Amino acid sequence: MRQIEPMTFSDLQFSYSQFFLYDAAIPPACIWTERHSKQGFARRDGVVAVGTVLEFGFAAVTVVVDRPTEVQRYQRALAVPLHIRSGSLAIDGPEEARGVRKVPVATGFYRVTIGQNVLDDLREEVTIWLERSDIPLARSELLVVDEDLDPSEPLLETADKP
């Protein structure tokens, strides 16, 4: 895997308990069900809506193209498959302009691991690891489950477009 330096964004504004990771060529957002809320994410092809620990606020986001490390230090952590066709990963909150934060990545299949910690009443830290895969991945995984999650097995791997 080609190593690139981690990218940091200090101003992600999340709201409605979510933010989006998505192929920059695809409109983001997913329709959440109660089951999605209990597992902390909703996803469809090229899009992941990540449930945040806080309902609204700001996050410092670090994106690392590498295998995840120290995942157990986070309050909440999950890994999800993501297919990037455009060569650009976008990271936005629901009330932000689309595509403001973009990370250039190789096209292909990824295992995206997201770790979250609450810093105070309005701030979280989020680390996103992008691990490239030679084959499409089908299953998500909850790595660290906080008290707000109550997932059902198997995890719900699809969501509808809004």
Tens-place pLDDT, residues 31-50: 999 999 999 999 999 999 99
Domains within the chain, CATH numbers bracketed: 7-144 (2.60.34.30)
Kindly report the average pLDDT of the chain as a whole number: 95
Q: Is 121 exposed, middle or buried (0-12, 13-18, 19+ CB in 10 A)?
A: exposed
Q: Which residues contact 152 (CB under 8 A, 6 or more apart)?
A: 35, 38, 39
Q: Average of pLDDT values for 54-63?
A: 98
What is residue 68's predicted lDDT score, i.e. its pLDDT? 96
- Whether the CB-CB separation of 53 and 75 falls below 8 Å is answered with yes
pTM: 0.95
Q: How many CB atoms lie within 10 A of CB 44?
A: 18
pLDDT confidence of 103, banded at 50, 70, 90?
Answer: very high
pLDDT confidence of 1, banded at 50, 70, 90?
Answer: very low
35: helix, coil or strand?
helix
